[in-house]
Amino acid sequence: MFRTMSSKKMITLKSLDGQTLEVEEAVAKKSLMIKNMIEDDDVMDDDVEDDDEDHVVHLRKVTHKVLEKAMEYCKRHVDEDENKVVNENELKAWDQDFVVKTDKSTLCNLLLAAYYLNIESLLLLLSKNAFHHKTSEGKKPMEDMRILLECQQ
């Protein structure tokens, strides 16, 4: 299969509402589902000359806003896969910040997206935060769980 080698191959992700988002291939491949889709596509298109370097991946179950957030996370964490030097503490601080800044409903949808797109580390981050979320007021874990569940006390 002929493919021009470019250092930064871009993937177009199309969300539920029809909007598109362009990301680097490596970033998109953090989602195992996208990765499998791309690789399956490549295998399938073996005999066709692929001029169009931009793969378009249709994600029918994710909205644009949530997809953006997920890709933001992936972009920050893409270095881990390439074995580049990562500053653990910095990443952790960024993660915490990422979660705190996101509102509850988006977090909920992000969790679903992480599950659907199969982004392991994001799922882990969100799960851990569901129970041990440190808000600025320093509430206890179970309070946060309740809040997260939007249950009335």
Partner 1 sequence: MVCLLISNGCVNYHKQLRRWKWPPFNLPEAGEGCEDMMMLVIPDKLWRRVLEIGGLSYKDLCCVSITCWRIHRLSDEDLLWSRILSSDFPPHSSSSSSSKSLYKLRFERDRDKRKVTHQRAVLRKESQIIEHSRKLRDMETRLAQETDRMRATLVELSNFHKVRQASSLALNNVWQREITRGRQKQIVEQCVVPAESRHHALEMELRLCKMLISGLEKACKDEKRRLGLVEQELQPMRYHPLRDQKPLIPGDAQCTGKSKKLKRFHGQGKKITSW
Residues in contact with partner 1 by CB under 8 A are 16, 61-63, 65-66, 105-106, 108-109, 111-113, 115, 123-124, 126-128, 130-132, 140-142, 145-146, 148-153
Q: Which two tokens stand for residue 64?
A: 């644009």
Tell the smallest beta-carbon distance from residue 114 to partner 1 (Å).
Answer: 9
C-alpha to C-alpha distance for 133 and 145, rounded to whole angstroms: 8
Tell the smallest beta-carbon distance from residue 66 to partner 1 (Å).
Answer: 7
With respect to partner 1, which residue has the nearer C-beta, 20 or 121? 121
With respect to partner 1, which residue has the nearer C-beta, 44 or 142? 142
Residues 6+ apart with CB under 8 A from 33: 116, 117, 118
Q: Which of 44, 28, 47 is nearest to 119 (CA)?
A: 28
Tell the smallest beta-carbon distance from residue 127 to partner 1 (Å).
Answer: 4
With respect to partner 1, which residue has the nearer C-beta, 28 or 107? 107
Q: Which helix (H) or strand (E) holds 124?
A: helix 120-132
CA 89 vs. chain centroid, Å, equals 20
Residues 6+ apart with CB under 8 A from 47: none
With respect to partner 1, which residue has the nearer C-beta, 35 or 65? 65
Tell the smallest beta-carbon distance from residue 120 to partner 1 (Å).
Answer: 9
